[in-house]
């Protein structure tokens, strides 16, 4: 791609780099700037963090925030789509409990498609969005063998409320859990077009697989430790620190770097400042759990780690990323097993990836849709002139 309107001049140096930074399309739902992070339909995430997930899902699908009537109508529409097709619980009853929750999520989404897909991009995307809270709750229930007293799905509740109601954890204040989960969902719904799971989901959809198959593919991509599953590793890392003393934390960070292990919760491929999604979660933690032991640890880590990481000039962003605080907040409301954390990330992304798939399949190129993904690979024996 050379010439006056060239966005990018490709050279052999761009081969085998994971398409890092190479423009491949346009995105209607969100973009990421190095300093302000993600914006959904033009709104910086910092302005959306405290909105209800339903309203932000509406934004991603309709490219504008709803007014009150639209918001109520959309919530009712989601309620009418929320009931799971029968057969899911029987499938969950057969899955291995030692399987990772992300594999359960991927299988669950596939099963929803097999049992209730209608082969329409918009309908299936909205149906899946509405079914996710119950599906998520059932993953916890069946994987943990707590199947005897599962409450009915209460469709009058919010999306997050339906999950909390299905999970029914003892001794947890539902209002606090709902607040933390609502913020978590809003912050994680979308992150531009090129993050691995979104790209993978859109690629599968370009072959005209269903939303369910495409989303299951996206969840498989999200499950890797370099992508979504980093949030699991991050809380495991915070637990290993075991102190909020600044000097001890600095020793710990230096020790990890000497042992050539990553400092989880810091750094980003595209951002060049603290991720506003981290800033928003720190603010929520200061309000909800300022004295929690893990929160005290990450509060100090947020000061110490960037200073130590910045000593290495190779590290392009030493600041906190989205994963630094989410595990601490989830743990505070009783979601103490880090293996589940990426499923919340996946639940959130169903909104953004679903909206992006609809845009690529039904809106772009005047409604014709983006063609089948088919990038070119150069045989090692070929010359670059064949590009
Ligand atoms: N701890 C240790 N080393 C780091 C870190 C970190 N937090 N961040 C960057 N580096 C290293 C990186 O591994 C690379 O080393 P090498 O040249 O030996 O391959 C070098 O610094 C330059 O990396 P960057 O270009 O700054 O970042 P890159 O795009 O390669 O990696 C991450 C981005 C997110 C993979 C990286 O910062 C990292 O591994 N962070 C820790 C793990 C983590 O928190 N992951 C969650 C990511 C969430 N998110 O993307 O939002
Ligand atoms: C994301 O939210 O998807 C992560 O920050 C990773 C990315 O944007 O590449």
Q: Which atom of ligand 2 is nearest to the CA of 194?
A: 9
Instruction: DSSP for 329-380, please give it.
Output: HHHHTT---GGGHHHHHHHHHHHHHHHHHHIIIIITTTTT-PPPP------T
Q: Whose CA is nearest to atom 8 of ligand 2?
A: 195
Q: How far is CA 169 from CA 52, 172, 361, 373, in A?
A: 22, 6, 40, 43
pLDDT at 155: 98
Tens-binned pLDDT, residue by residue, of the chain (387 aa): 445 577 888 999 999 999 988 999 999 999 999 999 999 999 999 999 999 999 999 999 999 999 999 999 999 999 999 999 999 999 999 999 999 999 999 999 999 999 999 999 999 999 999 999 999 999 999 999 999 999 999 999 999 999 999 999 999 999 999 999 999 999 999 999 999 999 999 999 999 999 999 999 999 999 998 899 999 999 999 999 999 999 999 999 999 999 999 999 999 988 999 999 999 999 999 999 999 999 999 999 999 999 999 999 999 999 999 999 999 999 999 999 999 999 999 999 999 999 999 999 999 999 999 999 999 999 987 655 555
Q: Which atom of ligand 2 is nearest to the CA of 188?
A: 2
Q: Whose CA is nearest to atom 6 of ligand 2?
A: 195
Report which bound ligand comes closest to the CA of 226: 1
Q: Which of 300, 40, 17, 358 is nearest to 185 (CA)?
A: 40
Query: Which single residue is written with the structure tokens 């980093």?
Result: 230
Catalytic pick from 39, 110, 188, 268?
Answer: 268
Calculate how far, in angstroms, residue 188's C-alpha sits from the geometric centre of ligand 2: 9
Q: Which atom of ligand 1 is nearest to the CA of 321?
A: 51
> Across the strands, what pairs with 31?
39
> Across the strands, what pairs with 44?
39
Q: Which atom of ligand 1 is nearest to the CA of 324?
A: 44
Catalytic pick from 227, 245, 292, 337?
Answer: 227
Alpha-carbon 268 to chain mean position: 15
pLDDT at 269: 84
Architecture of domain 233-332: Orthogonal Bundle (1.10)
> Residue ranges of the domains in the chain?
37-229+337-363, 233-332
pLDDT at 7: 83
Calculate how far, in angstroms, residue 150's C-alpha sits from the geometric centre of ligand 2: 34
Mutational pocket test of ligand 2: of 269, 274, 342, 345, the residue with most ligand atoms within 8 Å of the beta carbon: 269
Mutational pocket test of ligand 2: of 191, 226, 321, the residue with most ligand atoms within 8 Å of the beta carbon: 191
Q: How far apart are CA 380 and CA 384, in angstroms?
A: 10
- The answer to whether 192 and 167 have CB atoms below 8 angstroms apart is no
**For 37-229+337-363, which CATH class?**
mainly alpha
Residues 6+ apart with CB under 8 A from 365: none
Structure tokens at 248: 């001890």
């Amino acid at each position: 791609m050379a010439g006056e309107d060239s966005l990018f001049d490709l050279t052999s140096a761009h081969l085998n780099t994971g398409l890092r930074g190479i423009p491949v399309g346009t995105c209607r739902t969100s973009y990421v700037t190095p300093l302000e992070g993600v914006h959904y339909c033009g709104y910086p995430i910092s302005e959306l963090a405290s909105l209800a997930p339903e309203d932000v899902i509406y934004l991603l699908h309709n490219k504008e925030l709803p007014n009150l009537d639209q918001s109520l109508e959309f919530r009712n529409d989601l309620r009418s789509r929320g009931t799971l097709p029968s057969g899911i619980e029987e499938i969950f009853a057969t899955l291995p409990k030692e399987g990772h929750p992300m594999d359960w999520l991927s299988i669950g989404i596939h099963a929803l498609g097999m049992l209730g897909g209608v082969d329409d991009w918009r309908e299936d995307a909205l149906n899946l969005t509405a079914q996710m809270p119950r599906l998520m709750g059932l993953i916890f229930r069946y994987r943990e063998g707590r199947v005897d007293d599962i409450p009915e799905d209460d469709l009058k509740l919010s999306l997050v409320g339906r999950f909390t109601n299905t999970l029914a954890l003892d001794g947890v204040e539902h209002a606090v859990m709902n607040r933390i989960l609502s913020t978590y969902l809003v912050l994680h719904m979308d992150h531009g077009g090129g993050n691995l799971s979104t790209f993978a989901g859109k690629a599968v959809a370009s072959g005209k697989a269903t939303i369910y198959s495409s989303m299951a593919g996206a969840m498989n991509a999200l499950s890797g430790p370099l992508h979504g599953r980093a949030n699991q590793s991050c809380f495991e890392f915070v637990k290993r620190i075991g102190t909020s003393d600044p000097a001890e934390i600095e020793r710990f960070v230096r020790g990890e770097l000497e042992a050539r292990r990553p400092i989880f919760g810091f750094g980003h491929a595209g951002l060049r400042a603290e991720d506003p999604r981290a800033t928003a979660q720190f603010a929520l933690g200061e309000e909800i759990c300022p004295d929690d032991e893990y929160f005290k640890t990450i509060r100090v880590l947020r000061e110490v780690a960037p200073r130590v990481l910045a000593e290495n000039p190779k590290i392009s962003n030493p600041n906190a990323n989205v994963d630094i605080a989410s595990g601490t907040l989830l743990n505070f409301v009783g979601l103490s097993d880090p293996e589940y954390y990426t499923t919340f990330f996946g639940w959130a992304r169903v909104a953004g990836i679903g909206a992006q798939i609809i845009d690529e399949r039904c809106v772009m190129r005047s409604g014709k849709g983006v063609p089948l993904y088919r990038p070119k690979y150069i045989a090692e024996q070929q010359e670059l002139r064949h590009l």
